[in-house]
Structure 1
Amino acid sequence: MRTITPAIALSALLLLALPIVAEEAKQQPKAKSLFDGKRLEHFEIPQFGGEGTVEVKDGVIALGQGVMLTGITYKQDDFPRSNYELSWEARRTMGIDFFAAATFPVQDSYCSFIPGGWGGAVVGLSSIDGADASENETTKYIAFKDNQWYQFKIRVTDKKIEAWIDGKQVIDANTEGKKITTRNEVDLSHPMGIVAWQSAAEIRKIELRVLGE
């Protein structure tokens, strides 16, 4: 009789679990691309005042350096209010401030994820209970290099806002009982938009994934 060791038992369990894992992977919602690298089909260019040029070239959305904000705003009315992930890649090509801040819906309100604000290093959410990204519990300090691509992802659920940079989680904020708002400067980014502040930037691979309840 063959002795069943713990290692053999574990291997058998893993083999049994493989079909279940594969089936769950099939059921995971697929990401929808919002930018095809050729045109701004799903976006419009908001007129903030003093904005830089916005154009599609070489497969990216190029945001020219403006006096204040320059960006793009999603123009459809089908963006989810909760239970979704938004991801994008961006790099700053000129300037010293945030270059790919995303504004997004949070149930009946909106919020902004700021990467590299307040002179280039502040990361956080604006705003929670009236406190900006530079002064609430999500505040982090991260240095960003010019001309380097970064991967950003936010996840919004009924109770949380989470964010990742290059696969590393940087925000895990409980939103229950909190007042979530945006600064009035980004009102034109509702329902979803990506902007740079006094900086030139490039954006690509904007994707939306709707999650299960």
Structure 2
Amino acid sequence: MKILLTALTLAAISLPVIAQTPEQEPAAKTEWILFDGKSLKDWEMVDMGGSGDVTLEGGQLIINQGDSLSGAVYKKVEELPLINYEITLQAKRLQGVDFFCGLTFPVGDLKKCATLVCGGWGGSVTGISSIDDMDAANNATGTYQRYEDDKWYSFRLRVTAANISAWLDDKQIVDQDIKDRKVSLREGPMDAYAPLSITTYNTMAAIKNVRMKALLAKP
């Protein structure tokens, strides 16, 4: 018995020591649901005086018609990427004759922002405000798009260090290189909605499915 125990002890001593592998760190988050249809807790209404209320109705973010700008700012921008990302959302105009989706977004810095304007200047102009101090009605990104009331439209915005692109449904409507170009907000009350927000102008709109994802590789 003693011999057997000694042999087992020697065998145990001779076994290789297997080091424990430390737990892998969780992968960095790459996708965010900015509006889930259940709560507005991550959004803060900005009242410019005469702005319409922002409410939650039927799983939709409703921006009620105001005298001019109305909308809400996303409150957790510090958790999001500032460059190399895409934002997608769906929007529809419920009433009014001006833009029903103004998506303000950062371009590499919280103090450097622009706005994707959808349906401005009488209901059709769509583009980026501003490029080289020219708004969407006066720069190369501006196009005329036909929007119908009470119809959902899908928008996708892509922001990289070299380019800003946007899609309306499956059609690309913006492809703007920004190297050596000035990117900024249109001067005026839009400053209050930086760095990330959704706004309307004298128009009532519904918004849903607001999402963001980081671009892990150059598109």
SS at structure 2 position matched to 1:163: strand
- Tell me which residue corresponds to 2:120: 117
Q: Is the 8 A contact 2:45 2:53 kept in 1?
A: no
Q: Quote the offset at 1:30 in angstroms.
A: 5.5
Query: Residue 198 of structure 1: which of 198, 202, 216 is its match?
Result: 202
Q: Is the 8 A contact 2:61 2:207 kept in 1?
A: yes
Check if 1:212 corresponds to 2:216: yes
Structure 2 alignment gaps of length 5 or more: 1-26
Q: Quote the offset at 1:94 in angstroms.
A: 0.4
The runs of at least 4 aligned residues of structure 1 exceeding 4 Å deviation read: none
Q: Is the 8 A contact 1:150 1:165 kept in 2?
A: yes
Matches within 5 A, 1:87-102: 87-102=88-103
Aligned mates of 1:169, 1:187 — CA distance in 2: 27
Check if 1:79 corresponds to 2:80: yes
Matches within 5 A, 1:49-88: 49-76=49-76, 77-88=78-89
Q: Quote the offset at 1:54 in angstroms.
A: 1.1
TM-score (norm 2): 0.82
Matches within 5 A, 1:1-213: 31-76=31-76, 77-108=78-109, 109-183=112-186, 184-213=188-217
Q: Quote the offset at 1:79 in angstroms.
A: 2.8
Q: Quote the offset at 1:32 in angstroms.
A: 1.7
* Alpha-carbon displacement from aligned partner over 1:33-74 (angstroms, at most 9, x marks no partner): 111111112211112221011110100011110000111101
Aligned mates of 2:48, 2:178 — CA distance in 1: 29
SS at structure 1 position matched to 2:114: strand
Aligned mates of 2:75, 2:49 — CA distance in 1: 19
Structure 1 alignment gaps of length 5 or more: 1-26
Q: Quote the offset at 1:168 in angstroms.
A: 1.1
Question: Counterpart of 1:120 in structure 2: which amino acid?
Answer: G
- Tell me which residue corresponds to 2:4: none
* Alpha-carbon displacement from aligned partner over 1:140-193 (angstroms, at most 9, x marks no partner): 001110000000010000100000010211000000000000023211211100
Q: Quote the offset at 1:87 in angstroms.
A: 0.8
* Alpha-carbon displacement from aligned partner over 1:98-151 (angstroms, at most 9, x marks no partner): 001100001131010011100001011000001010010111001110000000
| Structure ID, larger Rg | 2
Question: Counterpart of 2:81 in structure 1: which amino acid?
Answer: P
Aligned mates of 1:95, 1:151 — CA distance in 2: 19
SS at structure 2 position matched to 1:107: strand
SS at structure 2 position matched to 1:147: coil
Aligned mates of 1:190, 1:30 — CA distance in 2: 22
Aligned mates of 2:204, 2:50 — CA distance in 1: 13
CA RMSD of aligned residues (A): 1.4
